[in-house]
Structure 1
């Protein structure tokens, strides 16, 4: 739809018979809103399957291609290198191509990456495929939660955006389960299926109304809102609020990285960057990428352990998705961080008891610790930092800020996933005690700095947090 002048007002939707829609409500989940969210979170499933691939694939790849510990550590962690590049440009891509365009481009890279892994004959092709897949999920990790946050009403936004983490968990869990049954090459090929689902689905869903408003397509933004909220819904207030808090392209074009570090954005940046850094240095991807090795080192069957982990995290993520709009963000984050702290401490204690041969059942303590960690993480720390990231930045700053926050997340992931095998060889117990300490620090950070964003529109949140 063509752009119109920035002075063109949003008008009420006029229905046959002369009545407007001001008496109806726009806070219900329409079929197109649900479809749009389902298509978007297909990208989250892709994210999860890529993260979960290295754990069940490790024994097969090492045996077939003869990789050393260092070579496999590079393969496991190089996904995050590609993701960092994707994260760095994700905001710019999403601003230039739109949220749908960013997701589509990301999936093209991911499909090529999976094909390179599936047909690789040496470590080089494995690494190339892993980097390409990483680039795709780096873009998706920004575009998916931002798109969902921008299309959903305030009373549904938390749960719908948290579906991002639910599908990440589903992707990881299914990859763990299926990877215990099929070969690693076939497992890589199955990773292409959700990519194709999203690529096709993007043709049937509307673009974000807030992005359309950002580029000056006011009529397009209004049409998208009508599509998402339903023809009988009152979109007047929401459309006016979007308009009032959206800069025109002329106003936003000069906003640069230096502008992002103005004092008024400091609180938003500290919260966004801090949550992402603490999420990663709490050890989540060390456990996700190397679960098989952790269970084996603890003396527990890795197939039983990864299966139990895969089964647990899906219902816990569903519980978190159901609670996020009822309990609020902060209480769930605090409970989740406390659980991850307990889980890491239990794993560390298991390795410590094993080192001193003090308890024959220490492998079960390691299993319990991993399950407590994964269940607690799925409840809040997995989803809510991404939800908050998508809420706290104004539309004109969201591209740059989102790229920075996303980059910090993936950089932290790379540090942890690359160094974990080497640090664990020095002291497995010490490694997990450090993770537990970070999780404890997370609780303090949440208490002191993280705002409650539940039940407020994106525009209301941004006004309250940006001084």
Structure 2
């Protein structure tokens, strides 16, 4: 039963006819931004998982022992597995979390997935053999998949429509900051120390639940409108049309002639959106950005970079963070489509330049202008944060109403995670078959395809209402 009285409801929305001052709006958006930052700790957790194979490979190349002093040797294909198993586990996580999001709510799913992430890092640090580490990485992948689904949906549901792109970019920035933490600690620390340090991120996420409210659309769909008004009052301010927003949640989630979730998913408009977002995920992973994140030190070494691989990895991740901050300021001005096309275009050019450089340098040892590989990869990884990486996640929440959002996003994530698993697991075979030049040319070609695909098929959602 709703514990709030009608009088209380009227009191909360009594001032909707007024106008919010600039100072009030700044204060309110700062509070909203703090909630988004706490939510972004889920993405920090994911980022730390994604870049970890590069740290692991670099450490074991110098010290092939576990925390117990026993020997452990990983081949290149097994290093690939430490990345690809995270993506494989990520295909399972959303399907576990999706039904729970509608039954238990967003906060409960963050609690469950965050706890699983803690266990995954603990296993990587303390299990004494290769099998244990790989199992722990798969468990980490399940946590990453669940966190990705719930955090992206939750963040989109909290943010004001006019700043939703900027707020959503804070989630993407979280992935990059998690990567920076991991590679920075890994610069001069053993792999198991890095894993133990990374445990602090999901722990902070779990503690943040003390401050995070439940999602307003979820509360409305569960008939808890009084609680939803309380949350919306804090998020939107006392002059907002709270009743109108609550009604919009109801209108955009009416089942009407629908016969259930799966029938809703099979409607032509929904199928089209599923196909578009899923294709964006496939293109994103086959641009090679995740391969580069997981294998930065190996790629720089093979490319003949004259800069220390561990230091170069940190530089690339810092460039990504700076690019993501700039992109967050421009996202709601450029819109989803233009941001994505710009991102694909810059990536295509930088990867193409790297392929041409390697072709021209041939087998020279050392290669001339040894800073070029670092520059090209830094531009590529910075450009991906502008649109190619964040937009599929944003659209997977914006395209679908609350009643099917978890399931629809879960389908898109599953397709994307399978693509990510294949891209990571096939890295070594593709590298050997195509050579470096061919591999970067392939990634550049995928980026080239992404530009017209985005132009013709992606629907703009900047500022639009979501269910």
Corresponding residue number in structure 1 for 2:288: 283
TM-score, normalising length from structure 2? 0.90
Q: Distance in 2 between matches of 1:281 and 1:203?
A: 38
Q: Deviations over 1:23-50 (max 9, x none)?
A: 2449764454223212110111111111
Q: Structure 1 residue 133: deviation in Å? A: 1.0
Q: 1:359 to 1:201 in 2, by over 3 A?
A: closer
1:257 is aligned to 2:252: no
Q: Distance in 2 between matches of 1:422 and 1:68?
A: 13
Q: Distance in 2 between matches of 1:69 and 1:342?
A: 29
Q: Deviations over 1:224-255 (max 9, x none)?
A: 2123223454423222212222347x987x52
Q: Deviations over 1:36-94 (max 9, x none)?
A: 21211011111111111111221223522111222222222111111111133332232
1:445 is aligned to 2:458: no
Q: 1:258 to 1:350 in 2, by over 3 A?
A: farther
Query: 8 Å contact 2:153–2:406 — kept in the other structure?
Result: no
Q: Which moved more, 1:144-153 or 1:63-72?
A: 63-72
Q: Structure 1 residue 325: deviation in Å? A: 1.1
Q: Distance in 2 between matches of 1:382 and 1:319?
A: 15
Q: Which moved more, 1:27-36 or 1:87-96?
A: 27-36
Corresponding residue number in structure 1 for 2:404: 397
Q: Distance in 1 between matches of 2:237 and 2:263?
A: 40
Query: 8 Å contact 2:16–2:240 — kept in the other structure?
Result: yes
Q: Deviations over 1:141-179 (max 9, x none)?
A: 111111011111111111001111111011112212221
Q: 1:240 to 1:374 in 2, by over 3 A?
A: same
Corresponding residue number in structure 1 for 2:388: 381
Corresponding residue number in structure 2 for 1:22: 17
SS in 2 for 1:244: helix
Among 65, 68, 80, the alignment partner of 2:75 is: 68
Q: 1:19 to 1:59 in 2, by over 3 A?
A: closer
Q: Structure 1 residue 257: deviation in Å? A: 3.3
SS in 1 for 2:209: helix
For residues 84-95 of structure 1, the aligned pairs below 5 Å read 84-95=91-102
Q: Distance in 2 between matches of 1:391 and 1:356?
A: 48
Corresponding residue number in structure 2 for 1:463: none
Q: 1:211 to 1:343 in 2, by over 3 A?
A: same
Q: Which moved more, 1:140-149 or 1:364-373?
A: 364-373
Query: 8 Å contact 1:13–1:21 — kept in the other structure?
Result: no
Corresponding residue number in structure 2 for 1:40: 39
Q: Distance in 2 between matches of 1:9 and 1:446?
A: 47
Q: Distance in 1 between matches of 2:151 and 2:290?
A: 20
Q: Distance in 2 between matches of 1:356 and 1:30?
A: 54
Q: Distance in 2 between matches of 1:59 and 1:225?
A: 47
1:202 is aligned to 2:202: no
Q: Distance in 1 between matches of 2:228 and 2:429?
A: 51
Q: Structure 1 residue 364: deviation in Å? A: 3.0
Query: 8 Å contact 2:42–2:151 — kept in the other structure?
Result: yes
Q: 1:122 to 1:340 in 2, by over 3 A?
A: same
Among 285, 295, 300, the alignment partner of 2:300 is: 295
SS in 2 for 1:79: helix
Query: 8 Å contact 1:283–1:416 — kept in the other structure?
Result: yes
Q: Structure 1 residue 266: deviation in Å? A: 2.8
Q: Distance in 1 between matches of 2:6 and 2:336?
A: 35
- CA RMSD for the aligned pairs? 2.5
Corresponding residue number in structure 2 for 1:456: 464
Query: 8 Å contact 1:113–1:132 — kept in the other structure?
Result: yes
Q: Which moved more, 1:25-34 or 1:178-187?
A: 25-34
Query: 8 Å contact 2:9–2:229 — kept in the other structure?
Result: no
Q: Which moved more, 1:37-46 or 1:376-385?
A: 376-385
Q: 1:244 to 1:76 in 2, by over 3 A?
A: closer
Q: Distance in 2 between matches of 1:359 and 1:190?
A: 36
Stretches of structure 1 lacking an aligned partner (at least 5 in a row): 460-467
Count of residue pairs the alignment pairs up: 452
Query: 8 Å contact 1:344–1:435 — kept in the other structure?
Result: yes
SS in 1 for 2:105: helix
SS in 2 for 1:388: helix
Q: Distance in 1 between matches of 2:264 and 2:236?
A: 34
Corresponding residue number in structure 1 for 2:68: none
Stretches of structure 2 lacking an aligned partner (at least 5 in a row): 66-71
Query: 8 Å contact 1:353–1:362 — kept in the other structure?
Result: no
